[in-house]
Amino acid sequence: QLFLAVLEREPDDLDSHKGLGEIYYRQYEANSDKAVLRKGVEHYEAAMTQDTEDSELMGRVIAGYVDLDELGKANTIFEQAIKKNPKDPDLRMTYAEMLAKQGKMEEAVKGFEEVIKLSPDNLNAVLNIARFLTENDRHEEAIPYWQKIVDLRPELWQAWQNLGVCYGRVGNNEKA
């Protein structure tokens, strides 16, 4: 209510747009109501027009459009954002996830590789590549990624299991 009241007096108030964007986004996460998400994206986008350097804000807008299945808008904003922040692993992660959602997995893998170059211990990027390679019977290629996950998070028994499966599929039964 407070943010809305401020926006009635000052329609371009950056903090109010960010605050409402966050509130609506959290509501969407709780109930998956796309109409609520759309409101959040609108407020984030209004804030983004004023704060053009905030890569986290840009990432929120991109992710929102991906969840709304408006991938063209997400791609346009990503292209603008990456020109301003070419070494931002979070933006690249959001974009790679968008490509994966579009079914462009080979391109998504390249995106996740870019994330890993910028942030070598990014578990989500490594996990996405490992899963894709394993699901596509590219077990030899998947092994170093599952090994990296095991090294990063040895308590993840599923990673150990997948590593063993991959070793078994390539005929290395000693390591399986």
- 20-46 average pLDDT score: 94
Q: Assess whether pLDDT exceeds 90 at residue 151.
A: yes
pLDDT at position 40: 95
User: Distance from CA of residue 33 to its chain's centroid?
Assistant: 20
Q: Assess whether pLDDT exceeds 80 at residue 81.
A: yes
- Using only C-alpha atoms, what is the Rg of the chain? 20
In angstroms, the Cα distances linking 139 to 5, 98, 159 are: 56, 24, 13
Q: Assess whether pLDDT exceeds 80 at residue 58.
A: yes
Asked if 37 and 68 count as a contact pair (C-beta separation under 8 A), the reply is yes
pLDDT tier, 84 (very low <50, low <70, confident <90, very high otherwise)? confident
- 12-22 average pLDDT score: 91
- 44-58 average pLDDT score: 88
pLDDT at position 141: 96
pLDDT tier, 144 (very low <50, low <70, confident <90, very high otherwise)? very high
- Please report where in the chains the tokens 């991959």 appear, as a residue: 166
Query: Which letter does DSSP use for residue 68 in this model?
Result: T
- 70-88 average pLDDT score: 88
131-140, Cβ contacts within 8 angstroms, sequence gap of 24 or more? 132/100, 132/105, 132/108, 133/109, 134/162, 134/165, 134/166, 136/105, 137/169, 139/165, 139/166, 139/167, 139/169, 139/170, 140/166, 140/170
Non-local CB neighbours of 107 within 8 Å, separated by 6+ positions: 99
- 68-90 average pLDDT score: 88
Q: Can you tell me the distance from the alpha carbon of 154 to that of 148, in angstroms, rounded to the nearest whole number? A: 10
pLDDT tier, 137 (very low <50, low <70, confident <90, very high otherwise)? very high
Non-local CB neighbours of 163 within 8 Å, separated by 6+ positions: 143, 146, 147, 149, 150
